[in-house]
């Protein structure tokens, strides 16, 4: 029994010297945990503005209808990930496509509060 314990202790020391799992620091584990999350798809949405309308007005909409939103022209747009605002930004052109330039990042502590 004492021999088995000695062998187990030697194996643990050997792994520690080789940089094995025994030497993981909390910081290193955090980085590894983030790597697991890197390949998860999330939905990014850019919100121009919003408004509330009655169902009767919604039913009357047709091509060419205009609805006034709650945001002024030139105001920064909200950038949301899975429904949580993470930043504000502005629309830019990237070749022939629209893009978004981040102008302000929401503080991570405030993002967590909104969950």
- Work out the angle at residue 84's Cα, subtended by the Cα atoms of residues 76 and 73, and round it to the nearest 5 degrees: 15
Do 56 and 24 reside in the same domain of the chain? no
Cα-Cα-Cα-Cα torsion 70, 73, 75, 79, nearest 10 degrees, comes to 70
Q: Domain range for residue 30?
A: 1-40
Mention every residue, 6+ apart, whose C-beta is less than 8 A from residue 20.
14
Give the residue from 80, 79, 43 showing the smallest Cα distance to 90.
79
pTM of the predicted protein model: 0.63
Do 11 and 51 reside in the same domain of the chain? no
Do 24 and 48 reside in the same domain of the chain? no
Do 57 and 86 reside in the same domain of the chain? yes
Domain CATH for 100: 2.30.330.10
Do 45 and 55 reside in the same domain of the chain? yes
How many domains does the structure of the chain reveal?
2
Condensed to tens digits (0 to 9), the pLDDT of residues 44-93 reads 999 999 999 999 999 999 999 999 999 999 999 999 999 899 999 999 99
Q: Give the single-character DSSP code of 72.
A: -
Do 29 and 81 reside in the same domain of the chain? no
Do 16 and 71 reside in the same domain of the chain? no
Helical H runs in the chain?
2-18, 26-37, 55-59, 108-113
Condensed to tens digits (0 to 9), the pLDDT of residues 27-45 reads 777 777 778 888 899 999 9
């Amino acid at each position: 029994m004492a021999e088995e314990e000695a062998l187990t202790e030697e194996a643990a020391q050997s792994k520690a010297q080789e940089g094995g799992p025994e030497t993981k620091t909390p910081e290193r584990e955090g980085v590894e945990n983030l790597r697991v999350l890197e390949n998860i798809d999330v939905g990014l949405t850019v919100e121009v503005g919003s408004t509330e309308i009655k169902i009767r007005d919604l039913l009357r909409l047709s091509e060419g209808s205009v609805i006034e939103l709650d945001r002024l022209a030139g105001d920064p747009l909200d950038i949301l990930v899975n429904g949580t605002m993470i930043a504000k930004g502005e629309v830019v052109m990237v070749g022939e496509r629209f893009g978004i330039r981040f102008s302000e990042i929401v503080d991570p502590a405030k993002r967590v509060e909104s969950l």
